[in-house]
């Protein structure tokens, strides 16, 4: 029976918000961890239906002396109804549950009929409940359309600009991201002419944060920007629109298949200033004549994707997270080597500090950041009115957490997301050490330019 007490204690700690499911499970003794974790996770999946069954069967009222907590009832009823029975000897607690087995079964059956499902599996909560509450975000592709035109178009189709999306016909203009509209979650725009023509991009609000925070130069024919990990291209087309389709935006994607998707998406969205490159960003030479001029870099690399509201409860292996974090750090450090870069936005759709705050911390401590004087942009430049910021304890209690942005799946009307923004310190705020390095770097660049000019002159003579 200890196994069930242990599992119910984990549920108690989760209810008390003592930590993440992964963190709390990690405190269990290793020999029993996998088995207890499996029971906890399965119970959580069916928590809503099991709670109904327990309440309507009056199990806790009639057996209050034996079954002392709701969470203990949850794990025991789970195994009674949805697994192979209680895995324990015939003690009083097991006997108490067995006395109610028939009633528990019929309550479960009643719920199945009510919900119109046939199998137990269909009762599992997949997390879609949270996803179903996230508005349908529609980003107006300003390369082809304006928000005014979009509002007029949707109004003519019977929608009402109400500043809310609760009703099926209401929609709102987002308060944080320009040119972003929010409609009722139940709506799909895949067959809408505005979507088919590339005038709108269906992109979650949080995913719009990256390009908006990077804020590339607008309408500047000399601008050079890099999207290091581009496919399928939502953020690339956003960047392109923010640049007013001017200047140059290099979009790297290493995967061949995803690269084709990227090309298709860029053509549909009329991104004329983008050069898509099927290459691994880590192999790109920062001193390459084309790319060395990049002043802004967007890094939205592969991550555990744990923040999507539709992802099921999962225990992510530590090892996998650490490998992802090492790769993510490598990408940031590589971006920092580009000689003209002034701003780097690093974002993930993960909720794990390992891929977020910890990567940012390591990046700030890296030789690349120190030698090139990178620091985090202040909150004022990173969605200042967004209240959910980085996790202070994961940033070792420093004020740096305020520079970071987090979104919690479901809670913030978005999927989960993380955004950080590195900037190179301005000359006036440079520490003496950075000031010296910057001077040497500028002198080096001038010398290199002179050398190039001389070589050119020599070749044309």
- Would you list which residues are annotated within the binding site for S-adenosyl-L-methionine? 253, 280, 300
Q: Choose which of 63, 253, 355, 400 interacts with ligand SAM (CB under 6 A).
A: 253
Q: Is residue 122 close enough to count as binding ligand SAM by CB under 6 A?
A: no
Is the Cβ of residue 199 or residue 254 nearer to ligand SAM in the bound state? 254
Based on C-alpha coordinates, what's the Rg of the chain? 27
Q: What interhelical angle do 92-99 and 70-82 show, nearest 10?
A: 70
Binding site, by residue number, is 253, 280, 300
**Among the candidate windows 168-176, 243-251, 278-286, 420-428, which touches ligand SAM by CB under 6 A?**
278-286
Contact between 280 and ligand SAM per CB under 6 A: yes
**What is the closest distance, in whole angstroms, from the C-beta atom of residue 339 to ligand SAM in the complex?**
20
Tell me how far apart the alpha carbons of residues 3 and 42 are, in angstroms, rounded to a whole number. Answer: 14
Task: Return the number of the residue (51 or 292) whose C-beta is nearest ligand SAM.
Answer: 292
The whole-angstrom separation of Cα 180 and Cα 452 is 46
Q: Which residues contact 52 (CB under 8 A, 6 or more apart)?
A: 107, 111
Work out the burial of residue 342: count CB atoms within 10 Å of its CB; fewer than 13 is exposed, 13-18 middle, 19 or more buried: middle
C-alpha–C-alpha distance, residues 57 and 320, integer Å: 43
- Pinpoint the alpha helices (H) of 344-395: 357-365, 367-371
Q: What is the DSSP string of 390-442?
A: --GGGGTT-GGGGG-EEE-TTTTSS--EEEEEEEEPPGGG--HHHHHHHHHHH
Options 11-19, 101-109, 170-178, 228-236: segment touching ligand SAM (CB under 6 A): 228-236
Q: Identify the residue among 94, 235, 296, 372 touching ligand SAM (CB under 6 A).
A: 235
Task: Give the binding range for ligand SAM (CB under 6 A) out of 240-248, 298-306, 411-419, 450-458.
Answer: 298-306
Catalytic residue chosen out of the listed positions 208, 271, 303, 349: 349
Site map 182..221 versus ligand SAM, x via CB under 6 A: -------------------------x--------------
> Would you call 421 a catalytic residue per the annotation?
no
Residue 252 found at the interface with ligand SAM (CB under 6 A): yes
In angstroms, what is the minimal distance from the CB of 278 to ligand SAM? 9
Contacts of 286 (CB under 8 A, 6+ apart): 292, 334, 337, 338, 339
Binding site for ligand SAM (CB under 6 A): 207, 229-235, 252-255, 258, 280-282, 300-302
**Residues with active-site annotation:** 349
């Amino acid at each position: 029976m200890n196994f069930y007490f242990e599992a119910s204690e984990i549920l108690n700690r989760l209810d008390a918000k003592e930590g993440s499911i992964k963190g709390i499970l990690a405190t269990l003794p290793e020999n029993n961890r996998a088995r207890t974790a499996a029971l906890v996770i399965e119970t959580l999946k069916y928590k809503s239906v099991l709670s109904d069954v327990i309440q309507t069967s009056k199990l806790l009222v009639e057996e209050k002396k034996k079954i002392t907590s709701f969470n203990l009832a949850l794990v025991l009823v789970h195994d009674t109804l949805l697994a192979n029975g209680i895995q324990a000897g015939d003690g009083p607690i097991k006997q108490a549950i067995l006395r109610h087995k028939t009633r528990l079964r019929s309550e479960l059956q009643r719920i199945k009929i009510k919900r119109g499902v046939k199998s137990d599996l269909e009762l599992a909560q997949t997390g879609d409940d949270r996803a179903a509450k996230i508005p349908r975000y529609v980003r107006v592709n300003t390369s082809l359309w304006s928000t005014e035109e979009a509002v007029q178009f949707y109004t003519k189709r019977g929608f009402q600009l109400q500043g809310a999306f609760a009703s099926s016909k209401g929609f709102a203009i987002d308060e944080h991201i320009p040119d972003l509209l929010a409609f009722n979650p139940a709506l799909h725009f895949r067959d809408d002419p505005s979507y088919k023509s590339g005038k709108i991009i269906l992109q979650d609000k949080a995913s719009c944060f990256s390009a908006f925070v990077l804020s590339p130069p607008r309408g500047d024919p000399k601008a050079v920007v890099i999207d290091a990990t581009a496919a399928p291209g939502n953020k690339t087309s956003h960047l392109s629109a923010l640049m007013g389709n001017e200047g140059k935006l290099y979009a790297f994607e290493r995967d061949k298949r995803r690269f084709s998707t990227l090309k298709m998406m860029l053509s549909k969205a009329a991104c004329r200033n983008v050069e898509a490159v099927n290459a691994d960003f880590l192999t790109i030479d920062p001193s390459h004549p084309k790319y060395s001029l990049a002043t802004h870099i967007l890094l939205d690399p592969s991550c555990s994707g744990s923040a999507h509201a539709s992802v099921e409860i999962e225990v992510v292996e530590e090892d996998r997270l650490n490998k992802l974090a090492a790769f993510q750090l490598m990408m940031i450090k590589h971006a920092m080597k580009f000689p003209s870069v002034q701003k780097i936005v690093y974002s993930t759709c993960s909720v794990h500090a390992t891929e977020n705050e910890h990567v940012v911390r390591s990046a700030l401590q890296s030789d690349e950041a120190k030698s090139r004087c990178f620091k985090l942009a202040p909150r004022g430049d990173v969605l200042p009115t967004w209240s959910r910021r980085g996790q202070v304890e994961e940033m070792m209690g420093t004020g740096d957490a305020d520079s970071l942005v987090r979104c919690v799946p479901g809670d913030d009307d978005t999927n989960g997301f993380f955004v950080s923004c590195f900037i190179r310190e301005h000359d006036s705020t440079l520490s003496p050490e950075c000031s010296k390095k910057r001077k040497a770097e500028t002198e080096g660049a001038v010398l290199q330019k002179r050398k190039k000019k001389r070589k050119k002159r020599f070749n044309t003579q």
